[in-house]
Amino acid sequence: MPRVHWTRRNATAETRQPGRLQTTRLILMTKTATMTVSAIDPDRLELMYASQADERGNSIEPFPAEGWEPLRCCLTYPSQGDSIALIAYSPFDTPSPWSETGPVYIHATRCAGYRTRDELPDHLRTGPRILRTYRADRSLHYDHITLVDEGKDLEQPIRSLLAREDVATVHVRAALTQCFTYAVTR
């Protein structure tokens, strides 16, 4: 279970009643939840490696990396010439109108995966990115979709979104292509 930290913040509110102004000192409680960063589900990826096909039946076909391809298995970039593959992947493993499938890069063979689940990946923590927000029932929460500009760090916008009670998950996606990069939950 993720740790939740409560912090106190002072604020002043003014209310108007007929003929007088009343100032009230408020103590607001805000919560900051520990993030959990998730690459491609390792169990699902293991099944793909074992069958040598993605979940849509496409063969895993290795090719040499150019070095710019963001790998969703370990949330890094490959070295030029590393053996990688392009697969079809849906972040949601249950039927839903929001369970889109898109292309993502992975190592062509098993790797160690993403190990630092309480931190954003160093190489994939800046914009430009789209932060897509989802409710607990996995429905897309259109009101909080956020664009993070080129070079801006993603951590504060993600933490702000996850602090909202109506946001359970944030999908970090490429701004231009909208490809899934990784998910962050509280």
- The string of pLDDT tens digits covering residues 107-164 is 999 999 998 888 999 999 999 999 999 999 999 999 999 999 999 999 999 999 999 9
Residue the block writes with tokens 């190990």? 115
Which of the four pLDDT bands, split at 50, 70 and 90, describes residue 19? very low
**How does pLDDT run across 25-49, given as a tens digit for each residue?**
333 334 455 799 999 999 999 999 9
> Is the model's pTM score more than 0.85?
no
For 31, other C-beta atoms within 10 Å of its C-beta total 12
Q: Judge whether residue 24 has pLDDT over 70.
A: no
Backbone angles phi, psi at 160, to 5 degrees: -65, -40
Q: Which residues pair with 13 in a beta bridge?
A: 24
Cβ neighbours of 68 (radius 10 Å): 9
pLDDT of residue 96 exceeding 60: yes
Q: How many helices (H) and strands (E) does the chain have?
A: 2, 10
What is the spatial distance between Cα 96 and Cα 87, in angstroms, rounded to a whole number? 20
Average pLDDT score over residue span 3-9:
39
